[in-house]
Amino acid sequence: MSNAAAEAAEVTEATKAASARVTAYIALGSNLGDASGDDGPIQQIKRALLELHSLPKTQRVRHSSLYQSPPAGHADQPDYINAVAEIRTQLTPGELLQELLKLEIRFGRRRLFRNAPRTLDLDLLLYDALVLHEPGLTLPHPRMHTRPFVLVPLLEIAPTIEIPGHGPIRTLQPAHDQSHLRPVKHQAASALLEGAA
């Protein structure tokens, strides 16, 4: 193969790699409104779903319904509004995590103490079938398989997905108490979700 042909092949492979997109799943949660007091948790989740579509090299594919769940860990706080979104991205796992952290900050997230109330919580659940253990990032998310407020919305949009190390989601979801998880049936939520679809 000539040098020119070899260089052309390298460019083609680089272009393919640059255009490759992986599927990732993001959990969203909120139990506080914004600083102005105008937007409550439902509106926060709606806005965050729109923002996910605006992340660099990323496209939001679909998202679940909204669910209301009691707080975990620190009980003296409002219930949460939760959802899960599926995205396609060219960002690396580390790059995607950094974009999610920046988005939390833009929404006014303050980490006052463990399990504190939050304006927006974004967790990277899955990045294709990647298993990763790095400082600050573990994939799959280490507690996702124990959380009904993650499993139920994820099952809604990805019923055949398998969680590496834990198996098919359909075998995990029934094992956890879902009695405190309620779909959000408020009319405003439906209208907001239409805008984020």
Backbone φ and ψ of 78, nearest 5°: -65, 160
Cβ-Cβ contacts under 8 Å for 65 (sequence gap 6 or more) = 83, 153, 156, 183, 184, 193
Active-site residue, from 76, 123, 143, 147: 123
Nearest-CA neighbor of 79 among 187, 188, 182, 179? 182
Quickly count: other Cβ atoms within 10 Å of residue 149's Cβ: 24
CA-to-CA distance for 138 and 190, rounded, in angstroms?
33
Catalytic residue among 39, 47, 60, 118: 118
**121 assigned to active site:** yes
Task: Judge whether 109 counts as a catalytic residue.
Answer: yes
Spot the catalytic one: 39, 47, 121, 147. Answer: 121
Residue 177 annotated in active site: no
Spatial contact of 22 and 89, defined as CB atoms under 8 Å apart:
yes
Catalytic residue among 21, 34, 79, 109: 109
- Contact present, 192 and 43 (Cβ < 8 Å): yes
Rg (CA), the chain: 18
Cis peptide before 140 (omega within 30 of 0): yes
**118 tagged catalytic:** yes
Asked whether 148 and 176 are in contact (CB, 8 A), the reply is: yes
Catalytic residues: 109, 118, 121, 123
